[in-house]
Amino acid sequence: MTIRILVNAALLAIPIAVTLGILFGLQSHRDATGQPPLFAPQPPPIPTPAPPKPPKNGVTKTRYCQKSFGITPDTTGQKYILNPNQWNWNVGDPGRLCMNVTTNNNGTYPTSTTAPEFMISWQYPVGPEDDPVHAFPNIQVDTDVLPATVDSISKVDIDIEWSYGVGNETTTASSLADLTADSLNTNVAIDMFIDSDKTSAQNPAKAKFELMVWFAAFGASTQPIGFGQGPISTQKLGSDTFNLYSGINTATKQNVMTWYTDTPIEKFNGDISPLINSVFKLTATTDLPKSSDYLGYLALGSEAFSVDKTVTLYVPQLSIDIETSST
Ligand SMILES: *[C@@H]1O[C@H](CO)[C@@H](O)[C@H](O)[C@H]1NC(C)=O
Ligand SMILES: *[C@@H]1O[C@H](CO)[C@@H](O)[C@H](O)[C@H]1NC(C)=O
Ligand SMILES: *[C@@H]1O[C@H](CO)[C@@H](O)[C@H](O)[C@H]1NC(C)=O
């Protein structure tokens, strides 16, 4: 009985295999000649040809208008993550923001730490007084150097040139008077996070300390936390003067320290590590970070509050070079 079944199965198996072999053969012929599939109820996905590679020279411009999206352009040097980061805005809400990124097709930039050129165009109405910020579009350094203990950081070189202009995707700077006339409320700032825990330091929502360096503040609403209490320290970098304000962000419970400038600094090329290190020498009553804590996150961006007409932050030049004593 058992033997008979086995024999029959073996005999049957041959014609089935032959039939399938013929069908598969026909199928691959039809595939190759671009004819519709013969028997597949679910046709195999037709491989879409890869888009033609842009020529190796030249640039590619891409516009990102989504709520939030990390973009990491190909590069032979240090990586950056760009993000429209409209964290306090949802699709359908009034206002909009787009980020335009210009990448070099060869992935090579003037220096190994040069970022792709970008611009951020936006317009939002005035938000609630206790919740006025709509977005923090930014470019974050994606480097192996971070997280690093602050006392191991030997320099944080920032080479930046930026302008704010009235208009959508404009590279033309507007005067302070014109920006004020359009009720622009925003800043241009470096945002850093510090924590005694390596992992929390990399998470802007979890880190205990936020340390900012503002290159500009536009509009009366754009005030650092603790502005009303007055500065707790002053420091000069080259010809630029920064005042330090400090306070607790009631929403996140983070201790926020902000180096603030009265006059917009549209060009800056220097080491900001003195602004980081002097924080440890403060004798404030509030909880302060220690130099053995980790710096886990560093980004440059613009806190977008509100404006009457579309404005554009244009950043044609940016390089962020963080080095530690071990690098
Ligand atoms: C890479 O492309 C940019 C933009 O076209 C160009 O300026 C630069 O010279 C190129 N670099 C190299 C090494 O080919
Ligand atoms: C913004 O990006 C789009 C492509 O997504 C491009 O067509 C447009 O020219 C860019 N704008 C500027 C001012 O570069
Ligand atoms: C700027 O113009 C482009 C092209 O018309 C448009 O897609 C984009 O939404 C505009 N951006 C803003 C912030 O209005």
27 pLDDT higher than 50 = no
Mutate to test the pocket of ligand 1, among 76, 102, 104 (most ligand atoms within 8 A of CB): 104
| Confidence label for 15 from pLDDT (cuts 50, 70 and 90) | very low
pLDDT at residue 44, as a whole number: 60
| Confidence label for 23 from pLDDT (cuts 50, 70 and 90) | very low
Q: Which atom of ligand 2 is nearest to the CA of 170?
A: 13
State which fold the 59-324 domain adopts: Jelly Rolls (2.60.120)
pLDDT at residue 183, as a whole number: 98
| Confidence label for 157 from pLDDT (cuts 50, 70 and 90) | very high
pLDDT at residue 281, as a whole number: 83
Q: Cα 219 vs. chain centroid, distance in angstroms?
A: 24
Helices marked H in 55-117 — which ranges? none
- Higher per-residue confidence, 205 vs 51: 205
pLDDT at residue 54, as a whole number: 63
| Confidence label for 21 from pLDDT (cuts 50, 70 and 90) | very low
DSSP for 153-178 reads EEEEEEEEEEEEEESTT--PPPPHHH
**pLDDT tens-digit profile of 219-259?**
999 999 999 999 999 999 999 999 999 999 988 999 999 99
Calculate mean pLDDT across residues 213-221: 97
Mutate to test the pocket of ligand 3, among 62, 64, 93, 98 (most ligand atoms within 8 A of CB): 98
The residue ranges of every structural domain in the chain are 1-45, 59-324
| Confidence label for 148 from pLDDT (cuts 50, 70 and 90) | very high
pLDDT at residue 56, as a whole number: 81
pLDDT at residue 36, as a whole number: 47
Calculate mean pLDDT across residues 297-323: 98
E strand or H helix at 17? helix 2-32
Most confident stretch, 3-17, 49-63, 77-91: 77-91
pLDDT at residue 42, as a whole number: 60
Q: In what order do the strands lie in the sheet with 153-166?
A: 59-64, 96-104, 117-123, 311-324, 153-166, 267-271
pTM: 0.84
10 Å CB burial of residue 276 (0-12, 13-18, 19+) is buried
How many angstroms separate the CA atoms of 174 and 164, rounded? 6
Smallest-distance ligand from the CA of 76? 1
Neighbours of 104 (CB within 10 A): 20
- Higher per-residue confidence, 29 vs 181: 181
pLDDT at residue 95, as a whole number: 98
Q: Is 60 in the pocket of ligand 1 (CB under 6 A)?
A: no
Mutate to test the pocket of ligand 3, among 63, 91, 171, 309 (most ligand atoms within 8 A of CB): 63
pLDDT at residue 289, as a whole number: 92
pLDDT at residue 211, as a whole number: 98
Q: Which atom of ligand 2 is nearest to the CA of 102?
A: 14
How many angstroms separate the CA atoms of 75 and 66, rounded? 23
pLDDT at residue 51, as a whole number: 67
Contact 306, 185 (CB under 8 A): yes
**DSSP single-letter state for residue 219:** S
**pLDDT tens-digit profile of 92-135?**
999 999 999 999 999 999 999 999 999 999 999 999 988 999 99
Q: Is 134 in the pocket of ligand 3 (CB under 6 A)?
A: no
Dist. CA 181 → ligand 3 center (Å): 22
Dist. CA 243 → ligand 3 center (Å): 36
**pLDDT tens-digit profile of 282-296?**
876 668 899 999 999
Q: Is 61 in the pocket of ligand 2 (CB under 6 A)?
A: yes
CA angle 142, 149, 85 (to 5 degrees): 35
| Confidence label for 91 from pLDDT (cuts 50, 70 and 90) | very high
pLDDT at residue 50, as a whole number: 72
Residue of minimum CA distance from atom 9 in ligand 2 = 61
pLDDT at residue 138, as a whole number: 98
Query: What are phi and psi for residue 230, nearest 5 degrees?
Result: 85, 160
For residue 236 the two structure tokens come to 């000069």
CA dihedral sign, ordered 234, 236, 241, 244: negative
Dist. CA 60 → ligand 2 center (Å): 9
Residues 6+ apart with CB under 8 A from 256: 209, 210, 211, 212, 224, 225, 226, 246, 247, 248, 249
